[in-house]
Structure 1
Amino acid sequence: MLDHTHASTSAGAPTERDLALDVAEVETVPELAEVVRRLARTAGNADGATFVLREGDRCFYVDEDSIAPLWKGQRFPISACILGWAMLNGSAVAIPDITVDPRIPQEAYRPTFVRSLLMVPVGRGASTVAAIGVYWARQHHATEDEQRRVLEVADAAAAVIDRIGLDSAPWAPSFSRR
């Protein structure tokens, strides 16, 4: 079991030391998912966070930490998912009002608490195999600091994936970087 009692900043955001200590302890994909969703939610001062893996042309919602259930354990076409958009474009996207952005599948979000979000890919280019979603229950403009901190979590996650690979994921037989 991982120890998550490291110090953090006064705002509760993970420090560089928190990231280094937590990711150094990670040995499996399930452990990585737990660490990422917890650190991402804290880093974004958010109401929820998800960790999603790319499985070929699908997104798999591995784990979440949120005020209400979202999509943990579900799979969606990568082309119909905003986290898929972030992975395919290799770019973070902050959306302060999900009801007005055409990239948001409204039917999937309507029953949830989510009103604003930040999606950050894990990895770069062809190495983008995962993404982090951070969610707010109210309209929220993700600050530069929140975006930077979530990106730091994503970079740490990419380093762990490079180190441990994705073979330790018990829920799916294979993963694809493309």
Structure 2
Amino acid sequence: MLSTLQQPHDTIEAPLFDLVEVIEQLAGARTVEDVAAIVRTAARRISGADGVTFVLRDEDRCWYLDEEAISPLWKGQKFPIKACVSGWAMLNRQTAVIPDIYQDPRVPHDAYRPTFVRSMVMTPVRPDDPIAAIGAYWAEPGAPAPEVLARLQAVARATATAMANVQL
């Protein structure tokens, strides 16, 4: 018999347990770097994305602080806030769902051409006054399932709390 504390891996409840685990990990984060490391790994796992970035707002720039992906993206780079999708998500205080990056004018195509990215979601952290964004990327065009989008937004909400806690 399974312990009630064991996490189911192939059941409908597994995504819920994954989210609980992310929230618990974020509650223990002590630095922004800790938060970024937890988010990049967890968001990729819960979304099935081929890559995830953690982007901080740095006044009028977006700083791609951390990433986990099948090939390098933009870790450590900064871009003008009005010239990238992470900036758009933060400035507009809403999640950007982009099923085909080459069909969306918000995407700076030159920055994406050398990458594997063909579709993406960018979710602001603390939508009322965004301080960061979480990007999830896929190598194939298409929109994520609604439950995947909901999970990414839940991680973003938990991340907002973790970021507030590390600033205390």
TM-score clears 0.5: yes
Aligned match of 2:166: 164
C-alpha displacement at 1:100, in angstroms?
A: 0.8
Q: Which one is further off, 136-145 or 15-24?
A: 15-24
Give aligned pairs, total.
160
Aligned: 1:82 with 2:111: no
What TM-score, normalized to structure 1?
0.85
Counterpart contact for 1:60–1:75, Cα < 8 Å: yes
Preserved CA contact (<8 Å) 2:120 2:137:
yes
Q: Residue 8 of structure 1 contacts residue 18 of structure 1 at CA under 8 Å; is this kept in 2? A: no
User: 2:98–2:119: 8 Å Cα contact kept in structure 1?
Assistant: yes
Q: Give the match for residue 3 of structure 2.
A: none
The equivalent residue for 1:136 is 138
Residue 119 of structure 1: aligned partner: 122
Q: Which residue of 2 aligns with 1:41?
A: 44
Cα shift readout 1:72-115 (whole Å, capped 9, x = no counterpart): 00000000000100000000011110011011000000000000
Using the alignment, how far apart are the partners of 1:83 and 1:69 within structure 2? 17
Match for 2:80: what amino acid? P
Partner deviation per Cα, 1:38-80 (whole Å, 9 max, x = no partner): 1111121110000000000000000000000000000000000
AA of the residue aligned to 1:107: D
- Deviation per CA, 1:147-170: give whole Å up to 9, x if none: 0000011001000111112x9xxx
Aligned mates of 1:83, 1:7 — CA distance in 2: 33
> Which of 101, 106, 110 is 2:109 aligned to?
106
1:63 maps to 66
CA RMSD of aligned residues (A): 1.7
Over alpha carbons, which structure has the higher Rg? 2
Q: Is residue 98–residue 116 contact of structure 1 (8 Å, CA) maintained in 2?
A: yes
Q: Which runs of 5+ in 1 are unaligned?
A: 1-5, 168-178
Instruction: Report if the CA contact (8 A) 2:22-2:38 is conserved.
Output: no
The answer to whether the 8 A contact 1:9-1:15 is kept is no
Q: CA deviation at 1:146?
A: 0.5
Q: Does the 8 Å contact 1:7/1:18 carry over to 2? A: no
Amino acid at match of 1:50: T
| d(CA) in 2 for partners of 1:25, 1:135 | 27
Q: Would the aligned equivalents of 1:118 and 1:135 in 2 still touch at CA under 8 Å?
A: yes
Matched, 1:150 2:152: yes
